[in-house]
Amino acid sequence: MCGRLSQYSGIHDFVAVLSMPNALVNTVGDQPLERYNAAPTTRVALLHLQGVLLHTDLVRWGWRPHWAKDRAPQVNARVEKVAHGPFFRAIWPHRAICPIDNWFEWVEEGGPKKQPYLIRHRDGSPILCAAIGQLPGSDEGHGKYDGFVIITADSAGGMVDIHDRRPVVLAPAQAREWINSATPKERAEQIALIEGEPSEAFEWFKVDLAVGNSRNQGAHIIDPLRSNQFLI
């Protein structure tokens, strides 16, 4: 996963897909998010549980432990190592969902610049990405070191031609279990490792090179190139 995503739906659209009856603490607002080209280090909407309350917060995309000052913040964590490696040990128990409309990858196709592709659910429904992080607390609010990473897995099927890594995307039932603090760590690892949605759930197509600059925003960013047909 190259590190660019879209969150243009409203937070209530994402919460509806998650389908949790919990009371909602919404610090994001009720209007569409309209982030068509969100880059690492920016704050994006995150869903997480605090007790029985479902929280929506804007959290920085990227995190590193306090002792790793010589390393850049990471935006992704490899599912094969995240549960047992020292880098993410402190935040592995703090699970969240990063809800998105789509993400982008860049492919070398022989041109002067890599070709960006947009990847989304075939049915257009929101995408629920498994995430972990240092998250805002209900009492103290946002902290200086808050941040999160999206968990990624090996691509499979045709998607490997677009990129060899992709987010671990969970169906609503698995997403609810993932963010439940009562879910044992071993079960959470199993969900991330083997219960992500398959490549067949997605479609992808070429988009304009303008997405390469995160200052470019707007609905035109997610439009397929006119000469392009869906690639499946």
In a 13 Å sphere around the CA of 136, the CA atoms on its Cβ side amount to 22
Helix (H) or strand (E) holding 165: strand 165-167
Query: Which of 56, 223, 37, 62 has its CA nearest to residue 147?
Result: 62
Integer Cα distance of 50 and 95 in angstroms: 11
Query: Which of 140, 108, 129, 144 has its CA nearest to residue 202?
Result: 129
Residue 232, number of CB atoms within 10 A of its CB: 10
Active-site residue, selected from the candidate residues 2, 98, 129, 203: 2
Q: How far is CA 40 from each of CA 2, 5, 63, 161, 180, rounded to the nearest angstrom?
A: 10, 9, 10, 23, 26
Integer Cα distance of 198 and 172 in angstroms: 14
**Structural tokens at position 133:** 């992080």
Catalytic residue list contains 2 = yes
Catalytic residue list contains 105 = yes
Active-site residue, selected from the candidate residues 98, 105, 129, 203: 105
Catalytic residues: 2, 105
